[in-house]
Amino acid sequence: MLWPERRLLTSLMSRHTHLRFMPEATARQGGHITLLFTVESEQRLPRDQGSCGAGFTVHHGVEAAGTLTLVRQQPSAQSAGVEPDQRITDPVAQRADITVTDRHGSAINDDRIYRSYIESCRFATLLRPHEHLTLQVRLDCPPSQGFGMSAAGLMALGGLLLKLTGRGSRRQYLKIAHQVERQHSGGLGDVLGASVGGVELRTHPGAPGWPGQVESFGAETPVLLVWESTQQRHTSSYIDDAGWKSAITKAGHDCMKRLTQIPWDAKAWPRLIEESATFAEASGMMEEDGRSSLLTTVREAMKKTDLESLAVPCLCMLGTSVAVLPVDLDRTPQEEQLEQLGALCLEQGLSMLLTRLAPVRSNE
């Protein structure tokens, strides 16, 4: 039995003179974690929607690898002596072969967001009708746990297409990623936040570059992510609910008023940690049973380590997950200490991943 992509290529070869494979390329994008935010989804255009808020980007995220196949059309008998159009518009040729796997190598069967992104790139002529994409996407973190995997996947795919084609700019692919996220009711500010890396403050909602506005600072520290694997929460279940939307936005605006009054640099870190806890309580997120239970379990595990004075568990919005973060960037936990805490969390039936903050970068 032929794999789906081999069946497709066999079909193409029966109708076209040749397939020319471009070299394989790979692109990565770290996940994004929001600690506090507002919901700004009333605007008509997806590019204007998003959120104000604060969060950070981590090293682990999504890897996209793939190749472009250039498909050339064979001349028909009727076109003898006439130069044929070498480009084809065959929908089979334009169809992308996409494989998505999780951190354990198991297949994820939902690839709709990637297909939407590819179609948007075709519409923007960043991909051409005669170019067939074979794509493998691998997630380092679980989806629907507040780690920004949909945004990271789209951003990694954009980076891959930029490498394969040399067309467009990073900012163009980021803008498309933001719009596709919104069309699928995904993350509000993940693309904007992850576009600059580090620890970011999103001061105006929207797509990167414009109208979205964001600033960021860098920090070196390991981060422990802990989550309850039996509970997943899609962003839309909150931002499409009028009650949650109102409570989240009010709490987020209150926190942002205070954070925007101070310089956004490494000295703002303790205030961010404080406002994260304030937001979790004021928005009602802390009151949900799954999150409350998770926080209690992680805090109890921390009592068995020497981390209580060095680190604090902060809720990741909007998953059933926490990020164990340093209280002070001048006294960050050692990886060995976080690994010990992670092992204790595993004993309690939780899942965990040790990662690091990602560096600051330009979203140009």
pLDDT tens, 324-363? 999 999 999 999 999 999 999 999 999 999 999 999 998 7
Interatomic CA distance for residues 138 and 194, integer angstroms: 18
Query: Is residue 42 classed as helix, strand or coil in its secondary structure?
Result: coil
- Mean pLDDT throughout 24-36? 97
Please check the confidence at residue 39 and state whether its pLDDT lies above 50: yes
Do domains 4-72+86-192 and 216-356 share one topology? The answer is no
pLDDT of residue 319 exceeding 60: yes
- Pick the more confident residue, 22 or 246: 246
| % residues pLDDT > 70 (the chain) | 86
Q: What is the pTM of this model?
A: 0.90
d(CA 270, CA 336): 23
CB 91: neighbour CB atoms within 10 A? Answer: 8
In this structure, are residues 298 and 226 in contact, taking their beta carbons and an 8 Å threshold? yes
Question: In whole angstroms, how large is the CA radius of gyration of the chain?
Answer: 22
Q: For the chain, which residues make up each domain, given as ranges?
A: 4-72+86-192, 216-356
Q: Any idea which of 85-89, 102-106, 303-307, 339-343 has the lowest mean pLDDT? A: 85-89
What is residue 41's predicted lDDT score, i.e. its pLDDT? 86
Domain 4-72+86-192 coded CATH 3.30.230: yes
Burial class (CB in 10 A: 0-12, 13-18, 19+), 99: middle
Query: Residue 81 above 50 pLDDT?
Result: no
The per-residue pLDDT for 187 is 85
Asked if residues 297 and 344 have their Cβ atoms less than 8 Å apart, the reply is no
Do 269 and 312 touch, CB atoms closer than 8 A?
A: no
Tokens of 91: 């929908």
* 23: confidence class by pLDDT, cuts 50, 70, 90: confident
Are the CB atoms for 282 and 299 separated by under 8 Å? no
**216-356: CATH superfamily:** GHMP kinase, C-terminal domain (3.30.70.890)
